[in-house]
Amino acid sequence: MAKRQLGTDSDLKIDGFKLKRGRRQRNRIRTLELADGSHVEIPVMVVRGARPGPVFYLGASIHGDEINGVEIVSRFVNEIDIKKLSGTILAVPVQNPMAYQVQHRYFIGHLIKSPLDQSPADPWASFPGDANGNIAERIAATLDSLMVRADYMIDIHTPTTGGKYAPFAFLPPTRCGRIVEKSEAMAMAFGADFILATNEGVYVQDKAPHTVTANRKKVGLGLELGEGGKIEPDMIERGVRGLYNVFRHVGMLPGETETFGRRMVITDMPVVRATRGGLHHRHVELNQDLRKGDLIASIVDVFGRVVEEIRSPRAGPVVRIATFPIVGEGERVVQLGKERKTRKKR
């Protein structure tokens, strides 16, 4: 159980909400004005526990095709027993509404209309945002105005459409220092099958929200749960169960934490790619432990001939699979986990 002084939510104020103990509220925060004069509104749920305690930010669908997290967040905050909750939850089930409308990673309409002006196009890679910046930076700034008030944050993703992860947590970069150990303990409590602890790559960029959070000496992480563009009841169940455990871990809910999930810490996840184009027949499943040389996938050309048998270049567990039925040369088929050698003390 994390040692911390409870009671930090007592002076919390959020525009548009009357914060009262023991209340669950839903509202929308108005952001950008669109060309027709309508506004983009970000849905926010505030759950104020019966007792004072920390502030926890939960976000989902910052990439618009990542759907499982929307239901994980809304189910968790609707189900939670407010009488048992210490502290306040700030939950944003859809963090990027314009991308969500079209079920695409980005707000693709603006990206087509004015691609140069939309760089950066990804709010996730634009934290802490800029209230005078472009669309992505303004959305990030609005989300950050909530996130900055939180003691803890979890940001829920899936892979983009065409990919599926085993329940997976990604930590802030190791360069953020000791605070990352607390993020790792939180990922263990969540019961992720794989926990990425690294200092390099796309998951640890400086402008990602969990990195910004860690640099503020607050505890945060990202999650990847299931397949992009899908609603998966088993993953939603797993996500809600994991959040309950995390809330017990940080002391916002009473009770002991349970132990579940594979919880393997990995430092890298090398990509295995197709070298031929064709139909993609996968022969492995998530979490399967491969040996070097195991058959991962067969690529079959449009004339029905097997043109490639993709074999595992190394031993390791399958962390991510491609679910696209077709691939071109150079496309990702699976990613394998590389286990961390020395297990740190928790």
Report the amino acid identity of residue 215: N
Q: How many residues bind Zn ion (CB under 5 A)?
A: 3
Residue 104 touching Zn ion (CB under 5 A)? no
Cβ proximity to Zn ion, 156 vs 250, nearer residue: 156
CB 107 within 8 A of CB 119: no
Give CB contacts under 8 A, 24+ apart, made by 306-313. 307/276, 307/278, 308/274, 308/275, 308/276, 308/278, 310/272, 310/274, 310/275, 312/272, 312/336, 313/270, 313/272
Q: Which residue(s) pair with 335 in the sheet? A: 271, 320
Q: Which stretch binds Zn ion (CB under 5 A): 26-34, 53-61, 153-161, 203-211?
A: 153-161
Cβ proximity to Zn ion, 67 vs 333, nearer residue: 67
Cβ proximity to Zn ion, 86 vs 95, nearer residue: 95
Residue 157 touching Zn ion (CB under 5 A)? yes
Q: Using CB under 5 A as the criterion, what x/- string covers residues 109-148 for binding Zn ion?
A: ----------------------------------------
Cβ proximity to Zn ion, 65 vs 308, nearer residue: 65
| Nearest-approach distance from CB 98 to Zn ion, in angstroms | 15
| Nearest-approach distance from CB 77 to Zn ion, in angstroms | 20
CB 95 within 8 A of CB 60: yes
Residue 63 structure tokens = 């990439």
| Nearest-approach distance from CB 157 to Zn ion, in angstroms | 3
Cβ proximity to Zn ion, 166 vs 290, nearer residue: 166
- For every residue of 51-104, which 3-state class applies, written as one string? EEEEEEEEEECCCCCCCHHHHHHHHHHHHCCHHHCEEEEEEECCCCHHHHHCCC
Residue 63 touching Zn ion (CB under 5 A)? yes
Q: Which residues bind Zn ion (CB under 5 A)?
A: 63, 66, 157
